[in-house]
């Protein structure tokens, strides 16, 4: 990576994207837990020590800022509601917001000190956060205040996705899957008859989506969770063919998708998940998140600061960071 500027300014408001070469070498190795993709050239990743990694040139260069919003808690999830407005959440109730595509971040008030693992926004004003001990929060005023939603759940909740302002899903520990059709006022459990931890999900509409998690689990629904079909199965057996843990999932289109996870796992489907092929991965590091930019381009991030990019719909991957 080329030397970056040496000016550092940290406060509640952080506006500088670059650091000295000596310091950037250390932040480049921090685990990245989540990536949000804004275009084929722009992406933002978050992770340990509140680090923000940002590119605007397709990943040729990544600029790092630790301590987003003036706090150093680990950030577990990032999402953008439009090209400018984004949110990241993390340990000890950390909530930070950007309104300039990730250049600067402000610390927002939180309602607790619980760890927040997932965040989803359907507009700049309306979003949800999930985390430890079944916590579910909602805002309708761009994060000025957060209301705790009652889901009668004590399990850790790992991820959330709302596809409309009313329809959303949450996945978590012990096979937990819950759905809301009223913006989170009430929740209904969906049973997969498995107790695997589900870490990630991707829905393309109100009825069709995938979840993935521990011990090779990948499942799909086409009827809004009334039933789930197990995928990634061994031939002639009703068992998952891998034991890897899956932490990220996204689809380039309704047929072509990627799952990433432990040991550098990258699996690809081109038939909606009827078959999953394990790809040759350029890393053995845990991959924590994958998101696509368009029908061909996407990024995956993970442990030790690993950043991978694909430009052929996930068939092949190249390491962009950390620099060797």
Say if residue 3's pLDDT is above 60.
no
Mean pLDDT of 112-119: 96
Each residue's pLDDT tens digit, 279-306: 999 999 999 999 999 999 999 999 999 9
Given pLDDT bands bounded at 50, 70 and 90, which one contains residue 46?
A: very high
Mean pLDDT of 1-12: 33
Query: What is the topology classification, in CATH, of domain 13-321?
Result: Methylamine Dehydrogenase; Chain H (2.130.10)
| 20-29, 55-64, 169-178, 297-306: least confident range | 20-29
Q: How many CB atoms lie within 10 A of CB 265?
A: 22
Which carries the bigger pLDDT value, residue 97 or residue 20? 97
Rg of the chain's alpha carbons, rounded to an integer? 18
| 40-54, 85-99, 217-231, 236-250: least confident range | 236-250
Given pLDDT bands bounded at 50, 70 and 90, which one contains residue 235?
A: confident
Residue pair 8/70 in contact (Cβ under 8 Å)? The answer is: no
Tell me what pLDDT residue 126 has.
Answer: 98
What are the distances in angstroms from CA 305 to CA 8, 27, 62, 173?
21, 8, 11, 26
What b/e readout covers 101-126, taking b as 16+ CB neighbours within 10 angstroms? bbbbbbbbebeeebbbbbbbbbebeb
Residue pair 82/124 in contact (Cβ under 8 Å)? The answer is: yes
Q: Count of residues for the chain?
A: 324
Which percentage of the chain shows pLDDT scores above 90? 81
Alpha-carbon gap, residue 176 to 211, rounded angstroms: 11
pLDDT mean across residues, the chain: 90
Cross-strand pairs, 200:
212
Alpha-carbon gap, residue 140 to 123, rounded angstroms: 9
SS3 298: strand
Tell me what pLDDT residue 6 has.
Answer: 33
Tell me what pLDDT residue 8 has.
Answer: 31
Each residue's pLDDT tens digit, 127-151: 999 999 999 999 999 999 999 997 6
Given pLDDT bands bounded at 50, 70 and 90, which one contains residue 324?
A: low
Q: Where are the domains of the chain?
A: 13-321
């Amino acid at each position: 990576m080329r030397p970056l500027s040496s000016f550092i300014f940290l406060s509640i408001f952080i506006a500088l994207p670059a650091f000295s070469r000596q310091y950037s070498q250390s932040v480049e190795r921090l685990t990245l837990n989540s990536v949000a993709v804004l275009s084929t050239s722009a992406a933002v990743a978050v992770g340990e020590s509140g680090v923000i990694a940002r590119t605007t040139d397709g990943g040729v260069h990544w600029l790092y800022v630790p301590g987003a919003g003036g706090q150093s808690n680990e950030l577990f999830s990032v999402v953008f509601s439009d090209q400018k407005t984004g949110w990241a959440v993390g340990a000890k109730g950390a909530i930070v917001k950007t309104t300039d595509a990730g250049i600067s971040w402000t610390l927002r008030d939180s309602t607790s000190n619980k760890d927040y693992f997932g965040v989803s926004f359907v507009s700049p004003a309306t979003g949800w956060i999930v985390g430890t001990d079944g916590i579910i929060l909602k805002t309708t005023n761009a994060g000025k205040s957060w209301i705790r939603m009652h889901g009668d759940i004590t399990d850790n909740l790992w991820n959330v996705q709302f596809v409309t302002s009313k329809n959303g899903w949450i996945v978590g520990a012990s096979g937990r899957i819950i759905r809301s059709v009223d913006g989170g006022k009430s929740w209904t459990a969906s049973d997969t008859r498995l107790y695997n931890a589900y870490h990630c999900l991707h829905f393309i509409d109100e009825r069709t989506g995938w979840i993935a998690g521990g011990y090779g689990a990948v499942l799909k629904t086409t009827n809004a969770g009334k039933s789930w079909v197990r995928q990634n199965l061994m031939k002639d057996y009703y068992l998952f063919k891998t034991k890897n843990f899956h932490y990220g999932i996204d689809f380039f289109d309704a047929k072509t998708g990627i799952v990433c996870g432990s040991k550098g796992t990258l699996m690809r489907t081109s038939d909606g998940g009827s078959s999953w092929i394990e790809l040759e991965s350029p890393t053995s590091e845990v991959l924590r998140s994958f998101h696509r930019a368009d029908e061909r381009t996407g990024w995956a991030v993970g442990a030790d600061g690993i950043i991978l990019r694909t430009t052929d719909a996930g068939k092949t991957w190249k390491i962009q960071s950390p620099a060797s």
